């Protein structure tokens, strides 16, 4: 059994992993899917004090209090920013790091700065406390499912986008590191992230699919996670 921590992206919540978590649980794993502060079922905690450190702490405290060791950390989209922040602080507890169509942070920069160095998928207004979510169509959700998913997306705390990250580089010691790029989501900053981690020796694969694959094809998404788990066990 592996402890698998699933970290959602911007505007989403732990709910987006429901079906993936079910597949992984049936496969014999313990699955945790925390909702980051200010989003989804924790949207009542949204205020101007929520920043990137808050989201990093959300993940760190989940790993600590759930007593996770030998952990598989899976991060989708923006979730890779606090996810890598947490991995940098808890590298000794993480066996494998799997990023799904993710923005990889750069030490000393905010995610909005990294994003804006490339052509963006869609513009964001960072002038308020939170950024309103786009239509789920942006993430590749089929028309018949959009009303349901749109009702679950919530505004995202601006401070998590604008606070620079401080990384010490400890997460580089994690032996198994995978990056999966979902090419139907046109975002040059994710292409740049893939190039950067490939240069650092990560395993990078490009798939002809949409962004929210955990909702579109949870079985396939779970299979990527199970594959990483098996590879990381062989690599020990």
What is the domain partition of the chain in residue ranges? Answer: 3-231
Structure tokens at 88: 């940098």
Options 3.90.45.10, 3.40.50.1820, 3.40.1190.10, 3.90.180.10; CATH of 3-231 = 3.40.50.1820
Beta bridge partners of 182: 207
Handedness of CA 88, 85, 152, 225 (dihedral sign): negative
- pLDDT of 125 reads 86
What does 6-37 look like in DSSP terms, one character per residue? EE--TT--GGGGHHHHHHHHHTT-EEE-PPPT
- pLDDT of 119 reads 57
Find out whether 107 and 81 touch, Cβ atoms under 8 Å: no
Which residues, given as ranges, of the chain have pLDDT below 50? none
């Amino acid at each position: 059994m592996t402890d698998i921590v699933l970290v959602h992206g911007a505007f989403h919540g732990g709910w987006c992993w429901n079906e993936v978590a079910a597949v992984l649980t049936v496969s014999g794993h313990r699955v945790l899917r925390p909702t980051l502060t200010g989003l989804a079922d924790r949207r009542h905690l949204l205020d101007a004090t929520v920043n990137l450190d808050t989201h990093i702490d959300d993940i760190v405290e989940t790993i600590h209090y759930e007593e996770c060791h030998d952990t598989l950390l899976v991060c989708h989209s923006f979730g890779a920013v606090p996810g890598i922040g947490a991995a940098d602080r808890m590298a000794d507890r993480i066996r494998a790091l799997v990023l799904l169509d993710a923005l990889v942070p750069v030490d000393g920069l905010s995610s909005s700065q990294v994003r804006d160095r490339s052509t963006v998928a869609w513009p964001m207004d960072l002038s308020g406390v939170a950024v309103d979510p786009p239509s789920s169509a942006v993430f590749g959700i089929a028309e018949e499912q959009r009303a349901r998913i749109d009702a679950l997306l919530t505004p995202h705390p601006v401070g998590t986008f604008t606070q620079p990250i401080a990384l010490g580089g400890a997460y580089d010691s994690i032996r198994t590191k995978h990056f999966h790029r979902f090419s139907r989501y046109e975002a040059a900053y994710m292409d740049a992230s893939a190039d950067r981690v490939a240069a650092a020796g990560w395993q990078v694969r490009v798939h002809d699919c949409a962004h929210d694959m955990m909702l579109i094809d949870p079985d396939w998404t779970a299979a990527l996670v199970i594959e990483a788990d098996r590879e990381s066990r062989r690599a020990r």
